[in-house]
A and B are shown apart, each in its own frame.
Chain A
C-alpha cells in the first residue's frame, strides 16, 4: 500500500557523496545538499557547518511540495527546478529521480547558467545511483527486521 522503507547502504551513499563533491567543485558552489522529498537529508558536500541542515531539508521538501501543488493546478506534473535569488547567496533546487531534491547554494563566484549545466550532468549520475540503491534496498534484510519489542521499549527508559 504505502511506499515501504527506503534503505541507503554505504556503497551507494559514497557514490552519491562523490557526485555531490564533484558538483560542488564544477559548479563553484558553496554547499550542496541531497534531500528526499519527505524532508530528510541524505548527504551534503561543502561547508555545511553553518547550516541547520535538518530545517533546510524539511523546508526544501515543503517548497518542492508546495510548488508541485501549484504545478498541478495548471496541469503540470511538477516544477522540477526552482531558483531563489538572494542579495548575497542564491539557492537552486531541482528534483532528481522523482524522489530526491538537489539543493545548491552559490554566490557571485558562480552563475545560474553554470549551476544549471552542472546540475543537469549530475542529475543523470545521481539517478543511476538511486536506481541501484532502490534495487539493493528491496533485497536488504536489515536492522528493522531484527527490532524487538524490548529495543523499542528501551527508547523510553
Chain B
C-alpha cells in the first residue's frame, strides 16, 4: 500500500526482495547501499543472526528524486529466506507494493527456488493480494557461478507470469540496478493505475 503525503509532498512505496535462503537478497541491498549516492539513501538496517543470516529483515530506504514536485521514497526490505522463518516472511509482505524474486541459478537450488516462489504466492494470497497481478520482477542471481541452470529452464520453472527477468551476480553488482529500476517502474505504473484495486 503506497503512502502519499501531500503535506511533505512524498510518495512512499515498499519493495520486498523474496527468495530462497542464501540466494543473495541481502547482497543485492548491500550493493545498492554501496553504490547509491549517500544523499539518496538512508541507513541500512540488518536484523541478522551472528552468522550473518537474515533473522527478520534487512531494510534500506532510498530517495530517488522528484516527480511532479513529489519526492519518491522506496523502502527496500528483504525477507529471511530459510524455510522455517515463514511467519516473519508473511509479516514483511504486509503493505508491499512490488516484489523482486531473487532466484539462485545453481542447479542444486532449483527445488528451493520453486518452493520459495510457491511460498511467495501463498503468502501474498494470505495478505489479500492477487499473486498474478502484484508488480513482480525476477532476478536470476549467481550467473557467474559454474553449474547453473539455463535461463530457459529457470524461466519455465519460475516465470509463468512472464514478468521482466534479469540475469545478475549480486556480489559484483551485475544486474542489480537493472532489477531495481524495473521493479520501481512497475510499482509506479501500478500506482498510477490505482493501487491494484
Could you list which residues of chain A lie within 8 angstroms of chain B, going by C-beta atoms?
1-10, 13-14, 36-40, 42, 52, 54-55, 58-59, 62, 65-66, 68-69, 142-147, 149, 151-152, 154-156
Contacts and interface: CB of A to CB of B under 8 A. Distances in A.
A105 B92 CA distance: 25
A5 B191 contact: yes
Interface stretch (B30-38, B99-107, B127-135, B152-160): B127-135
B181 A1 contact: no
Given A38-B94, A143-B11, A152-B67, A6 B45 contact: no
B80 to A, nearest CB: 12
Interface in B1-56: 1-8, 11-12, 14, 42-43, 45, 47, 56
Given A6-B1, A69-B88, 10 more contacts: A2-B129, A4-B196, A6-B3, A8-B5, A37-B95, A38-B75, A42-B5, A143-B4, A155-B67, A155-B184
Contacts of A62: 47, 56-57, 91
Chain A CB count within 10 A is highest, among B6, B75, B184, for B6
B68 A151 contact: yes
Contacts of A152: 67, 185, 188-189
A79 B189 CA distance: 36
Contacts of A14: 7
Given A1-B129, A142-B6, A152-B188, A38 B1 contact: yes
Contact of A10 (B3, B7, B12, B192): B7
26 contacts: A2-B128, A2-B129, A2-B196, A4-B194, A6-B1, A6-B2, A10-B7, A14-B7, A36-B3, A36-B95, A37-B94, A37-B95, A38-B94, A40-B3, A42-B3, A55-B42, A55-B43, A59-B59, A66-B91, A143-B68, A143-B70, A144-B2, A144-B194, A147-B67, A152-B67, A154-B67
A55 B6 contact: no
Chain B CB count within 10 A is highest, among A10, A13, A59, A144, for A144
A68 B47 CA distance: 18
Nearest to B59: A58
B87 interface: yes
B11 to A, nearest CB: 7
Given A8-B4, A38-B94, A55 B196 contact: no
A54 B61 contact: yes
Contacts of A151: 67-68
Contacts of A36: 3, 95
Contact of B65 (A38, A39, A54, A155): A155
Nearest to A63: B56
Contacts of B147: none
Contacts of B94: 37-38, 65
